[in-house]
């Protein structure tokens, strides 16, 4: 969990020059035909080494001492051995993301063990939320630290849940801690990631005042932080040599699982799923940063879709009429309309309606045109004839999407009727209205 930090803040081949250096799975190669005016390092090209599995890639970049003889590390190795299903479950949650995170770690030339940190933080769950602290996302950013690292939080979007953005921010934050405060010491940087640099720095100052060592293993830190680094090192030791510890780890192929695509403006997520030929649930799982039914009205980064659907998505999006992609519609104010009532009708916060329409007050005049979300009124009107059933009881495994399709509704229609977000999780026994 990230807490706010204090304000201190070669081989030579005949006929060609080739430099091949293995750096965590990256091969650097200088071509002999590079223009003379270019510097040697500018002529280097990056070539990724191929591996059979992500575990092989990760092991190739491990550089930390796992300290398996340390009793604190040994205790966590024994815990993992006693709870094999915990690791199995987390590996499955990491499946879509681990290769991406490992490559980001590799590109920064930092220890591959850092790619395992989300195992400790969130069990590799991008939507994880700490019940008390407010830390959120795969990397468990606290709100203030997320803001500091440029992770937007709005009605539409939470960058702490965006795996691409949050991974970049977390790795940058860790590296900054390591170089600014700890002279390159990764264990101290990891401790600061968990407890905050102020806590670690005070512990070091206290140890120094008592003429004691100031490395991680000798500091007196909060209980969670005392376990934090040993837990990561124990996991790293098991990943490095699972057979040695009598454990088996499911293979994750070293293959790209998702692709980044540009939406060129706001895009309804249900529409994005149709364009990609996949399900809304899969689009939401790959893009957990989006909190509503659509991407943001502006300033969107790439949308993630299954890698094998990229070409189809881009072709379908290019041929999509502009009128079919706008998730906002124009509403003409009628006599007696109140802005608060309109906001409730379209299931949007009042301040969002005001901001989208550049309103400085809630006063309206008849005939005035507003932008409001979606096509809620048309959707509700068209839903009634197709839904003779008034209510449905949620069964185990039901989702908004599956219930909507069974009753001739879109997911957003069903969510709007029940004053829900399309991201909400249903619970067995819950009653949903269909009109």
Q: 297: helix, coil or strand? A: coil
In the numeric block, the tokens 């104010």 are attached to 333
Cβ-Cβ contacts under 8 Å for 112 (sequence gap 6 or more): 24, 57, 58, 59, 60, 61, 62, 63, 102, 105, 106
In the numeric block, the tokens 């409001």 are attached to 372
How many residues can be counted in the chain? Answer: 435
Nearest Cα residue to 125 out of 92, 99, 151, 154: 92
Answer for the pair 35, 59: CB distance below 8 angstroms, yes or no: no
Torsions phi, psi for 385 (to 5 deg): -65, -25
Q: What is the CB-side half-sphere exposure of residue 160 using CA atoms within 13 A?
A: 24
How far is C-alpha 331 from the geometric centre of its chain's CA atoms?
Answer: 35
In the numeric block, the tokens 């950013």 are attached to 141
Residues with catalytic function:
121
Please list the alpha-helical segments (H only) found in 149-278.
Answer: 163-181, 186-195, 197-209, 223-240, 269-276
CA–CA separation, 392 and 434 (whole Å): 7
In the numeric block, the tokens 């957003």 are attached to 412
Cβ-Cβ contacts under 8 Å for 126 (sequence gap 6 or more): 97, 137, 138, 161, 162, 163, 166, 288
Q: 265: helix, coil or strand? A: coil
Question: DSSP class of residue 245?
Answer: G
> What is the DSSP code string of 381-426?
HHHGGG----EEEPPTT--HHHHHHHTT--HHHHHHHTT--TTPPP
Q: 16: helix, coil or strand? A: strand
């Amino acid at each position: 969990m990230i807490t706010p930090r204090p304000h201190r803040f070669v081989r030579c081949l005949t006929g060609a020059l080739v430099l091949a250096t293995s750096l965590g799975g990256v091969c650097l190669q200088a071509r002999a035909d590079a223009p003379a005016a270019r510097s040697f390092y500018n002529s280097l090209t990056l070539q990724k080494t191929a591996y059979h599995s992500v575990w092989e890639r990760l092991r190739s970049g491990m550089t930390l001492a796992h300290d398996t003889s340390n009793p604190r590390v040994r205790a966590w190795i024994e815990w993992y051995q006693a709870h094999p299903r915990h690791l199995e479950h987390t590996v499955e949650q990491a499946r879509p993301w681990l290769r991406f995170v490992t490559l980001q770690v590799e590109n920064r030339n930092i220890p591959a063990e850092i790619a395992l940190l989300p195992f400790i933080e969130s069990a590799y769950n991008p939507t994880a939320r700490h019940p008390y602290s407010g830390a959120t996302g795969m990397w468990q950013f606290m709100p203030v630290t997320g803001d500091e690292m440029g992770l937007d939080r709005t009605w539409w979007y939470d960058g702490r849940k965006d795996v691409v953005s949050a991974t970049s921010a977390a790795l940058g934050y860790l590296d900054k801690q390591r170089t600014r405060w700890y002279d390159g010491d990764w264990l101290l940087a990891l401790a600061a990631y968990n407890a905050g640099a102020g806590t670690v720095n005070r512990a070091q100052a206290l140890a120094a005042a008592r003429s004691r060592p100031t490395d991680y293993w000798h500091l007196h830190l909060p209980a969670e932080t005392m376990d934090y680094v040993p837990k990561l090192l124990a996991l790293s030791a098991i990943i490095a040599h699972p057979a040695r510890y009598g454990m088996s780890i499911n293979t994750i192929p070293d293959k790209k699982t998702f692709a980044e695509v540009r939406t060129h403006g706001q895009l309804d997520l249900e529409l994005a799923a149709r364009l990609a030929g996949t399900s809304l649930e899969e689009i939401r799982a790959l893009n957990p940063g989006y909190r509503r039914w659509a991407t943001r009205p502006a300033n969107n980064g790439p949308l993630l879709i299954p890698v094998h659907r990229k070409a189809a998505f881009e072709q379908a999006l290019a041929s999509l009429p502009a009128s079919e992609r706008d998730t906002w519609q124009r509403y003409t104010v009628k006599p007696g309309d109140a802005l608060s009532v309109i906001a409730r009708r379209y299931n949007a916060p009042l301040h969002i309606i005001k901001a989208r329409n550049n309103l400085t007050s809630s006063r309206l005049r008849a005939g005035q045109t507003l932008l409001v979300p979606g096509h809620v009124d048309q959707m509700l009107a068209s839903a009634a004839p197709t839904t003779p059933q008034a209510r449905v009881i949620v069964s185990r495994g039901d989702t908004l999407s599956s219930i909507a399709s069974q009753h001739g509704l879109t997911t957003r229609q069903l969510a709007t009727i029940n004053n829900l977000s399309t991201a909400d999780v249903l619970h067995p026994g819950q009653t949903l209205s269909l009109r």
